[in-house]
Amino acid sequence: MEQTWRWFGPEDPVSLDHIRQAGATGIVTALHHKAPGEEWTRAEIAERKRIIEDTPKGRSPLRWAMVESVPVHDDIKVRAPGCERYIETYCRTLRNLAACGIDRVCYNFMPLIDWTRTDLAYRLPSGATALRFDADQFAAFDLFLLQREGAADEYSPEQIDRAEQVLAGMTEQQRQRLISNIIAGLPGRATEAHSLDGFRSALQRYAQVSSERLQENLIHFLEQVVPVAAEAGIKLAIHPDDPPRPLLGLPRVVSCADDLRRLFRAIPHPSNGLTLCVGTFGVRPDNDLVEMAHEFGERIHFAHLRGIKREADGLSFFEGDHLASDADMVAIVAALLQEEDHRLASGRDDHSIPIRPDHGHQLLDDLDKQVNPGYSAIGRLKGLAEIRGVIAALNYQAGRSLK
């Protein structure tokens, strides 16, 4: 397994030297200054690669191992008139990445917003902080702050009562923080910031898009993109919906094993692959992550090894420790190592699966620093060290080389 680390570019408070010190060798990044729908030019890609791979004297080498992400324009997701130009631009970007030696691309097909949390600094018993999704706070946002049309039809009377109580107990500052946490955009321009009015307008674009329609639009996109990726030698790895259930009336298409089966039946080429995000799929107790790792092993081109802890209401959750969550991380890593063995035995030159720690806790000295939510250095260092220990133990047990 190639141990990688997400890096948000030269402005990231976590430097390349920090990543070297963590022991990662692969960089997961993107051209974060590029808006969805813009072409990534070869010159811009080459410059980012130079920054990563021109190793200073005496330093350990790094390589640009994975793109996360090349954003898909919302016009493609709703299949708006003229969206083909954005698909053509996406294909040009893939060709440009391949020309620069980048051969794996993570992307998602989530409508409008990327991963969604209500609290970016949830205090844990240890004193560290974590990302959290509180279902009642989210309902309070949806029903009473956003005031989304039709929202009340999607909640039970009990949920609405709890949401009202949550909102009544919030100060104005807490309400504004909740709004910001949900719609103010993610690190590295992964999503754009919105005002409440702008967010309402953006939601309207999806008013007539069902999950079935969104899946059709995803397949339409991939029918044009996958042949280009295959010709260029690029493997695409779709990231699941986070959280993997409908929110804000928006459709979802990559939330469970059945979704993946439909997707891979529709586009069977091996370039059409998966990012196995353990934490995201793990929000749903009906997702058996170990079975999914085995079933879709040949399609897994990237893995986010993090876990979540589901709460008593069945809807809320927070980011757990990498080895102390609701996921059987040891068994999942074992399944990925078995897949690598199978690939190696088959003579594949892409047998290694890039993995990275994800959404680490904010702890120790990082508690007093300004960090990208979920992407502080020390919490991810702890997660990577734990995963690295699991890999070493499983390799020793299986008689594999520990080098």
Give the domain range for residue 209.
Answer: 2-117+202-398
Instruction: Determine the number of helices (DSSP H) and then strands (DSSP E) in the chain.
Output: 14, 12
Q: What percent of the chain has pLDDT over 70?
A: 97
The pLDDT score that the predictor gives to residue 300 is 98
**176 domain residue, yes or no:** no
301-310 burial: b if 16+ Cβ within 10 Å, else e: bbbbbbbbbb
Which CATH number characterizes residue 293's domain? 3.20.20.150
Q: Is 30 left (phi over 0), alpha (psi -120 to 50) or beta?
A: beta
**303 domain residue, yes or no:** yes
| Mean pLDDT rounded to a whole number for the chain | 94
The pLDDT score that the predictor gives to residue 194 is 72
- CB atoms < 10 A from the CB of 258, how many? 8
Mean pLDDT of 144-171: 96
Reply yes or no on whether the pLDDT at 402 is more than 70.
no
Q: pLDDT tens digits, residue range 102-140?
A: 999 999 999 988 889 999 999 999 999 999 999 999 999
Mean pLDDT of 59-76: 96
Q: Which residues, in sequence order, are CB contacts of 366 under 8 Å at separation 6+?
A: 376, 377, 378, 379
The pLDDT score that the predictor gives to residue 192 is 61
Mean pLDDT of 189-217: 85
Domain count of the fold of the chain: 1
**146 domain residue, yes or no:** no
Reply yes or no on whether the pLDDT at 401 is more than 90.
no
Band the pLDDT of 350: cuts 50, 70, 90.
confident
The pLDDT score that the predictor gives to residue 191 is 57
**292 domain residue, yes or no:** yes
**100 domain residue, yes or no:** yes
The CA distance from 403 to 400, in Å, is 9
Q: In the structure encoding, which two tokens stand for residue 110, read together?
A: 């989530």
**296 domain residue, yes or no:** yes
Q: Which residues, in sequence order, are CB contacts of 107 under 8 Å at separation 6+?
A: 69, 70, 71, 72, 236, 237, 238, 239
Mean pLDDT of 209-216: 95
Reply yes or no on whether the pLDDT at 186 is more than 60.
no
Reply yes or no on whether the pLDDT at 190 is more than 60.
no
Q: Given the DSSP bridges, would you call strands 2-6 and 26-29 parallel, antiparallel or unpaired?
A: parallel
State the catalytic residues: 239, 277, 304, 358-359, 375
Q: pLDDT tens digits, residue range 318-332?
A: 999 999 999 999 999
Q: pLDDT tens digits, residue range 372-393?
A: 999 999 999 999 999 999 999 9
Mean pLDDT of 34-53: 97
Mean pLDDT of 334-362: 94
Mean pLDDT of 234-255: 95
The CA distance from 77 to 69, in Å, is 16
**231 domain residue, yes or no:** yes
The pLDDT score that the predictor gives to residue 322 is 94
The answer, yes or no, to whether the previous bond of 56 is cis (omega within 30 of 0) is no
Mean pLDDT of 157-180: 96
Report helix angle 196-204 to 172-183, nearest 10. 40
**187 domain residue, yes or no:** no
